[in-house]
């Protein structure tokens, strides 16, 4: 008979705890096609979605909205539930599970973190920027998030 400890370990493995979130903002561009908000990573070498860790007392959705405000200078409301999950390497190279939340931007023009260079990009530009300097598997993960966000925006 399984002990409670064994059952708990099994459940933890089945559903990994998510502490890292991404804010994926999509808007309609001037040509009617979706545009995606991207920022540079903290070291400035790559592009990513505004992303970070949950702070004590905040929900994952609140963390996503806060990260967008801090990194990209935009405010908005994150969806209550993530629309996608993806794996992303931490600074130490360990793959972490990231919950991606749709962000409806209500205000732009805030002060982003220095060096983040936030910008809105059409699908192909966003896909190419997210793939720069990344292996094929991670580039494919990021493209999947873009595609899912585009589908989610259309609903």
What distance in Å separates the CA atoms of residue 76 and residue 16, rounded to the nearest whole number? 27
Counting Cβ atoms within 10 Å, is residue 41 exposed (0-12), middle (13-18) or buried (19+)?
A: middle
- What is the mean pLDDT of the segment spanning 57-72? 96
Number of domains forming the structure of the chain: 1
pLDDT band at 37 (very low <50, low <70, confident <90, very high): very high
**Structural domain harbouring 133:** 21-154
Domain at 131, CATH number:
3.90.79.10
Mean pLDDT, the chain, as a whole number?
89
Asked whether residue 15 is domain-assigned, the answer is: no
Q: Is the separation of the CB atoms in 52 and 90 below 8 Å?
A: no
Query: Is the alpha carbon torsion for 127, 128, 134, 137 positive or negative?
Result: positive
Give dist(CA 101, CA 79) in Å, integer.
6
**Residue-level pLDDT at 133:** 92
At residue 108, the pLDDT reads 93
Q: Which one has a higher pLDDT value, 114 or 12?
A: 114
Whole-model pTM: value is 0.85
């Amino acid at each position: 008979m399984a002990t409670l400890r064994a059952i708990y370990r099994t459940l933890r493995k089945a559903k990994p705890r998510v502490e890292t979130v991404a804010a994926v903002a999509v808007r309609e561009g001037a040509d009617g096609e979706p545009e995606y908000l991207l920022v540079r990573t903290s070291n400035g070498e790559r592009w990513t979605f505004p992303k970070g860790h949950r702070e004590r007392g905040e929900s994952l959705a609140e963390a996503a909205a806060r990260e967008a405000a801090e990194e990209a200078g935009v405010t908005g409301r994150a969806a209550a539930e993530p629309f996608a999950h993806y794996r992303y390497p931490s600074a130490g190279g360990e793959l972490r599970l990231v919950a991606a939340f749709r962000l409806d931007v209500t205000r732009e023009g805030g002060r982003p973190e220095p060096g983040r260079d936030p910008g809105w990009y059409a699908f192909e530009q966003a896909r190419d920027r997210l793939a720069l300097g990344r292996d094929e598997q991670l580039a494919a993960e990021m493209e999947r998030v873009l595609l899912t966000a585009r589908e989610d925006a259309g609903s």
